Chain A
Amino acid sequence: MSERYNAGPRRNRLLEHPLVRLTAVRFHEFVREPEALFWTFAFPILLAAGLGVAFRNQPANVLPVAAATQQIARALGAEPLLSVRRLPVAAAEDALRAGKVVLAAESGVGGSVVYRYDPTNPDGRAARLLADAAIQRAAGRADPVPAGDSLVHEPGSRYIDFLIPGLLGMSLMGNAIWGVGYAIVDARRKKLIKRLVATPMPRRYYLLSFVLSRLGLLIAEVGAILGFAVALFGTPLRGPWLALAALCVLASLMFCFLGLLIASRARTIEAASGLMNVAMMPMWIFSGVFFSSERFPAFLQPAIKALPLTALIDALRANMLQGAGLAQTAPQVAVMGVWLVGCFALAVKFFRWR
């Protein structure tokens, strides 16, 4: 069999391997898509920054209260955790309704003091205790037991520390599902998959290239989010690093396969993004990204615990905040393992190669 063409300069055989070329193509396509770069790197960081600022812990929670008389105002002013405004009774009621103060104190009959507040508001109840203690003390009450405070300001118990593992999990999910799902449906829509299938390309390499490129991007993506959180908020990373890395890899593989499954049949971007949203929406709500999933009713808990994102976020929080190793997160790892194998098997079975 004669060669019609010069085979050209000999290239590195490993570099010209189809799997290497397919993976390289994935990288090229990704870095040349500015929107993808934004959603992968900038978005989770901006979200963390925004929420971190909104929910920053104020240096001691000072409660705004209104005082009707000069005497009451002076008594309340002695309490550092209250910020006192002198307001006539009618104005105080308006301020209370508008939420500008959490409690209004006015003088009642016979030298008594009346506290006006909403008992369902914890801040109101706290202000009631503080205000009453301040007024009684101003009137000469002596505390029978002397008491002092030892204050705890520990990173790890703040909202931002709770939030970062949630955002990391959400970002791992979104990037894997969108990254894989969108690229596959786009290739199918353009008949590029069909064109590739018309070559001797081994099909498993095509699917594998999505997984490999995602794992490559994972390092940059997790690094960006955690680096930002540690540098700016001092978010703790108490667990073993390797266990954290293993969790991220496992989660990324699992969500890659979920993305593969979602994109396995869809022919249009519209159909695929609908399916992706259907898959991800419940997890955004139930999996405890922004608040603890324990807040949902008990009968929902088994279902919530079985969601892949819940398992990931619970494991991330256990690792980062409580210093748990892989062994302590075994139940979550098991849930993720089941999702990984199940999604992979179904995706390979149903994948539409044209």
Chain B
Amino acid sequence: MASAAPQPALRVRNLRKSYKDVVAVDGLDLEVRPGECFGLLGPNGAGKTTTIEICEGLTEPDSGDVEILGMRWNTHAKLLRQRLGIQLQETQLAEKLTVFETVRLFRSFFRRGPDPDAAIALVQLEDKRNSRVGALSGGQKQRLALACALVGDPDLLFLDEPTTGLDPQARRQVWSLIEEFRSEGRTIVLTTHYMDEAEQVSDRVGIMDHGRVIALGTPGELIASIGAEHLVEFSAGENMLDTAPLERLEGVRAVRVSEGAVRMHVAELHVAVPALLAELARQRMPLTELRTRSASLEDVFVALTGRHLRDE
């Protein structure tokens, strides 16, 4: 079905939305291809939820154009509702109902889709079928929310912060479910402020800040765009280090010093680290700490904005 569709699953053009004096979305453009999992990554307050809720037809934009599965909210609202699966941020489902009653209720709103029990099996909640929602763990509640998003057999799935507040194991469980949905050919749009989540599940990532998409691409492309595959972080203790020679080392793209620690963006570890050690020996500096790691989307965000994703 989606294979023959020439148009993007979601196209957003020049979207704007302000609340009183806050500009939430500031001229955003976006295109999501059919069958891909698209991650909208950004810090809290970047405008991710406003953007996704406008796409879901829950919030009216000030201006701009949103086209979903070739349709628009003002002309095809009813049809669109049947074809979208939605999981909102921080919805609390009715605590007194059982898992089955909840999924059955949501199923009754859709013309087609899996049987409630099939939807429950899909998110692996079979053994909680008759438990009250109030008795579920955070991860189980989140999987129930996914089941409610899936009962209409949606072509496009919107997931707003699907793993916020979950423990690592529950997060991995949700990720593997998202993987599964994508492998069934559904298009998925998710928002997150976890760079590991965006890297893990997204085919392409849009990095959002202050209501705009400031970078777009596959996680690999984005990381490559900051010109460094790896980071080397070290400390020379209390000693005064001359960093100028470091910048001239082979394969080093950037050097930053903060609070006594030095961070270098480098292309190849096996070249940069020996060169660094040689330079420290030349300056007769002791090495009190040395860490290397692969660059992440977090580093892309820092490189682009000078801030961290989670500034707390």
Contact = CB atoms under 8 A, between A and B. Distances in A.
B199 interface: no
A4 B88 contact: no
B248 interface: no
B240 interface: no
Nearest to A199: B109
Contacts of A29: 94, 96-97
Contacts of B78: 200
Contacts of B1: 1-2
A9 B1 CA distance: 25
B57 to A, nearest CB: 8
Contacts of B108: 16-18, 20-22
Contacts of B122: 5
Contact of A5 (B90, B92, B111, B114): B114
B151 to A, nearest CB: 9
A32 B112 CA distance: 30
A16 B113 CA distance: 13
Nearest to A354: B58
Contacts of A191: 88, 90-92
Nearest to A201: B109
Interface string B80-119: 0110101010111110110001001111111111111111
Q: Which of B84, B90, B114, B117 has the most CB of A within 10 A?
A: B114
Interface in A5-45: 5-9, 16-18, 20-22, 24-25, 28-29, 32-33
A5 B118 contact: yes
A56 interface: no
A22 B184 contact: no
B152 interface: yes
A154 interface: no
Nearest to B78: A200
Contact of A199 (B94, B114, B152): B152
Give chain B's interface residue range (CB within 8 Å of chain A).
35 or more
B113 A5 contact: yes
A8 B105 contact: no
Nearest to B93: A192
A3 interface: yes
B161 interface: no
Contact of B104 (A21, A33, A195): A21
A198 interface: yes
B88 A200 contact: no
A352 interface: no
Q: Tell me what chain A mostly uses at the interface: helix, strand, loop, or mixed.
A: loop
B115 A194 contact: no
B96 A28 contact: yes
A1 B1 CA distance: 6
B58 A198 contact: yes
Q: Which of A4, A16, A22, A197 has the most CB of B within 10 A?
A: A4
A4 B91 contact: no
Given A18-B108, A199-B109, A199-B152, A190 B92 contact: yes
Nearest to A6: B118
A25 B93 contact: no
B58 A194 contact: yes
B298 interface: no
Contacts of B114: 4-8
Contacts of B209: none
B96 A192 contact: no
A198 B110 CA distance: 12
A194 B115 CA distance: 24
A195 B91 contact: yes
A2 B58 CA distance: 28
Nearest to A16: B108
Contacts of B112: 3, 7
Contact of B96 (A6, A32, A199): A32
Contacts of A194: 58, 88, 91
A25 B97 contact: yes
6 contacts: A1-B1, A4-B114, A4-B184, A7-B114, A190-B94, A200-B152
Given A28-B96, A191-B92, 19 more contacts: A5-B114, A6-B114, A6-B115, A7-B112, A7-B115, A8-B115, A8-B118, A18-B108, A22-B105, A25-B105, A28-B101, A29-B97, A190-B94, A192-B94, A198-B57, A198-B84, A199-B152, A200-B78, A200-B109
Interface of B: 1, 56-58, 78, 81-82, 84, 86, 88, 90-94, 96-97, 101, 104-119, 122, 148, 152-153, 184
Closest 3 CB pairs of A and B: A8-B115, A5-B114, A190-B92
